[in-house]
């Protein structure tokens, strides 16, 4: 994998290719590393907004529709899938290091683990803190999955990606995705982050198949601020999950929401996940969302 700015390419006397935006750092992955016929979703959002909780429960919902699901955690913390597997599974980088990066020595069971209701789980991991590039890790993960023909047996792939600032490395899952999905709360900080992610997805869509799918409103009773933002940008709400204590408790119990003790409020959340999965599987036209300027968001949000 090569990371290169357009300026560096020009400095070496050649025309830079696949530019996503002025001044961007490009992460070039092997163009042969395509995922195939599976529907692929990349989930982004502000740090701590509930991306892993949302991704894991959405994976279960897809599996309950009879789909073969693979969830790939793209965070050095490698905690995307623990409610599915009930453990912190080894990362792709961990197992590659254990064989001195001789990938041919690995077996699928070394890095792919079955979770609740048959959801297959992979944690890509990441480079040591302050070093390396997350895009390399994503590329190596997809390469391993393809080499072992695991993607051929998958209907849905969900990339659960860390953080809210989409750098060239952690934007790498967008190169494989059909739709980018954002998790946000009804507050200024997560909407501000969402705007940056929209810009990243728009940039990647110039050269890749990824398009904007919409926003999942999480941990919020109201949606008025997100509604304002959606109206101004062309975004659309895909689902809405309130700030329920059972969601917090499910993480502590290392369980998905589909394994918790039943209650009317929990059943409503489960039904919303099932509706969301069915809607995403059925497909929809991509959104032509246009990010706002930072000062415009500042003026738009808030109470009169």
Q: What is the CA radius of gyration of the chain?
A: 19
DSSP line for 67-100 = --EEEEEESTT--SSHHHHSS-PPBHHHHHHHTT
> Is the separation of the CB atoms in 229 and 300 below 8 Å?
yes
Q: Is 206 annotated as belonging to a binding site?
A: no
Give the residue among 232, 173, 230 at the shortest CA–CA distance from 200: 173
| Catalytic residue of the set 67, 164, 178, 204 | 164
| Catalytic residue of the set 39, 46, 67, 204 | 46
Q: Is 205 annotated as belonging to a binding site?
A: no
CA dist 179 to 193, 254, 284, 301, Å?
18, 28, 10, 26
Q: Is 169 annotated as belonging to a binding site?
A: no
Q: Is 77 a catalytic residue?
A: yes
Q: Is 67 a catalytic residue?
A: no
Angle at 144 between CA 94 and CA 63, to 5 degrees: 95
Q: Is 214 annotated as belonging to a binding site?
A: no
Q: Is 254 annotated as belonging to a binding site?
A: no
Q: Is 13 annotated as belonging to a binding site?
A: no
Q: How many CB atoms lie within 10 A of CB 160?
A: 29
Q: Is 133 annotated as belonging to a binding site?
A: yes
Q: Is 57 annotated as belonging to a binding site?
A: no
Q: Is 228 a catalytic residue?
A: no
Q: Is 48 annotated as belonging to a binding site?
A: yes
Nearby residues of 20 by Cβ (< 8 Å), 6 or more positions away: 26, 168, 171, 203, 204, 206, 207
Nearby residues of 298 by Cβ (< 8 Å), 6 or more positions away: none
Q: Is 121 annotated as belonging to a binding site?
A: no
Q: Measured between alpha carbons, how far is 146 from 30 in angstroms, rounded to an integer?
A: 12
| Catalytic residue of the set 51, 67, 202, 204 | 51
Q: Is 164 a catalytic residue?
A: yes
Q: Is 63 annotated as belonging to a binding site?
A: no
Q: Is 3 annotated as belonging to a binding site?
A: no
Which residues contribute to the annotated binding site for Mg(2+)? 52
Which residues contribute to the annotated binding site? 48-53, 77, 133, 167, 218-219, 242-244
Which residues contribute to the annotated binding site for ATP? 48-53, 77, 218-219, 242-244
Residues that are catalytic: 46, 51, 77, 164
Which residues contribute to the annotated binding site for [4Fe-4S] cluster? 133, 167
């Amino acid at each position: 994998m090569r990371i290169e700015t357009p300026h560096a390419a020009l400095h070496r006397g050649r025309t830079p290719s696949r530019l996503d935006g002025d001044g961007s750092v490009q992460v070039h992955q092997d163009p042969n590393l395509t995922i195939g016929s599976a529907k692929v979703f990349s989930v982004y959002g502000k740090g701590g907004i509930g991306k892993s909780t949302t991704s894991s429960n959405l994976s279960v919902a897809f599996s309950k529709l009879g789909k073969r699901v693979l969830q790939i955690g793209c965070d050095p913390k490698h905690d995307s899938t623990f409610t599915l597997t009930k453990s912190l599974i080894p990362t792709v980088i961990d197992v590659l290091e254990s064989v001195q990066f001789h990938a041919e020595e690995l077996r699928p069971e070394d890095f792919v683990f079955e979770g609740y209701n048959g959801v297959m789980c992979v944690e890509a991991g990441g480079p040591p803190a302050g070093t390396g590039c997350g895009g390399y890790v994503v590329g190596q993960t997809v390469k391993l999955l393809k080499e072992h023909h695991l993607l051929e047996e998958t209907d849905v792939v969900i990339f659960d990606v860390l953080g809210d600032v989409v750098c060239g490395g952690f934007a790498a899952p967008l190169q494989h995705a059909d739709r980018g999905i954002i998790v946000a709360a009804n507050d200024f900080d997560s909407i501000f982050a969402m705007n940056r992610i929209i810009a990243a997805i728009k940039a990647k869509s110039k050269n890749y198949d990824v398009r904007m799918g919409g926003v999942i409103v999480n941990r919020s009773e109201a949606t008025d601020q997100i509604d304002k933002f959606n109206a101004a940008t062309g975004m659309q709400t895909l689902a809405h999950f309130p700030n329920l204590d059972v969601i917090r408790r499910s993480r502590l119990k290392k369980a998905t929401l589909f394994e918790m003790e039943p209650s009317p409020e929990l059943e409503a959340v489960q039904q919303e996940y099932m509706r969301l999965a069915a809607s995403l599987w059925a497909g929809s036209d991509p959104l032509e969302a246009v990010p706002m300027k930072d000062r415009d968001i500042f003026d738009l949000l808030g109470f009169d």
